[in-house]
Chains A and B, each alone.
Chain A
């Protein structure tokens, strides 16, 4: 099998799937040309991520990485959610095939893009050293 049981589980039964009408912040990363887009919605209260939802266009690992990333940040303080790395996502899924690592990068970026949106809405500075380059190019996967 190409994917671990964990990946298949999150692909079959994605957690926190769907849209959020009253989201405090929304982040979208990837592009359709590369075949992956992740959109993440956050509900934030007192600096804590109270609720997360996501929508993803992409392959099984794109769906699984975004699903597990929402689980990993739900209930977390913003500062802790910003520490989520793609490596942690890969480990939580018991590994990804080498060609799919970029999906985990995208999941990390989706979280950061949503939090950057929150910062902007709050009038807070978005520090690139924390948020990184929040766009498709930084994944380096597709060379667009």
Chain B
């Protein structure tokens, strides 16, 4: 067997650790073993490093250090932010929440849980291009709306939402605004103050930081509910021994990502555009999911008619290419991705989805490899597909007519 270098094109799932984060964590794991809550000198040294990291992270998103709460990652941050806002709303008799149909499950399942507890949730249409319309959000806000939660950029199709306008509307209407920015932090310029964001979730491993850590930014004055009871860490709101190495790793990774942001965005979006253009021209009956203009630099999400995503994914894997699919078979359910269905795609087409997400670690050769392999695999699977046979028959009879 010929050894092939892995082409990692699943950066929306997780990213490789950057050298800066690794070094910061390695050093911290060996040196900062003391508990950052301890009063002795080693403990206080660790605490000082954590504070410095907190300041750096806060500054990079336009927040203050005391507005950053470290969590286990995006899922916890989303759960915490939404549930806290709902509890606050409930106390004031406000039990209406506005979100979208294509949020991450960390948000959607939290909202479903709140619906079971008597909350009313409006899911905004994301239209066929994958963007929320600010005027539709404005119309959906009611006197009893306690929270608007709209993701910054979609994890599957990469569409970037009109966050500035949503923030402005929420500020005007005095409604709390949370955004799941897991795919955006470290990739897009963010300033929570300028953008009127009240709460923002992020996860370190999406920008070459460590897994198992993320944070919730929560604007000063907004009170968070306790999920767990324990010590005084994170203002007593999120108890548990401070994970010093992971926090330092997060700060190092975010610093690096933000410093190189413009350069990376240009480089990665060039790779992405070449990939998209090539695939759409070489593979018939293929489509790009989501609009092209406001799109995460690394995201290329396709649907190929007549084939099923899991087969495609596993054949790519056999060729050393890592991607992901929103097909039912990869999600563990029988329905294809809720994101693709929210765009109005029929089940048949949504089953044939493929998401390739690039980062600055990818090369032009990686894209060449994908471009050279993908069309053959699609053709091979179509060749054995009764659905494709039917599509071709219809096409031929249309041509005759």
Contact = CB atoms under 8 A, between A and B. Distances in A.
Interface string B300-325: 00000011111100100010000000
A141 interface: yes
A143 B384 contact: no
A126 interface: no
B317 to A, nearest CB: 10
A19 B347 CA distance: 25
Interface stretch (B57-65, B192-200, B218-226, B328-336): B328-336
Interface stretch (A52-60, A68-76, A80-88, A113-121): A52-60
Interface residues of A, number: 29
B387 interface: yes
A35 to B, nearest CB: 4
B384 A35 contact: no
A18 B384 contact: yes
Interface string A39-76: 10000000000000001111111110000000000000
B351 interface: yes
Contacts of A61: 329
Given A57-B306, A59-B310, A37 B384 contact: no
Nearest to A17: B384
Given A35-B334, A59-B327, A142-B334, A11 B311 contact: yes
A34 B389 contact: no
A108 interface: no
A105 B23 CA distance: 52
A12 B347 contact: no
Nearest to A30: B386
Given A17-B384, A18-B384, A32-B351, A58 B336 contact: no
Nearest to A34: B334
Interface in B368-401: 384-389
Nearest to A141: B334
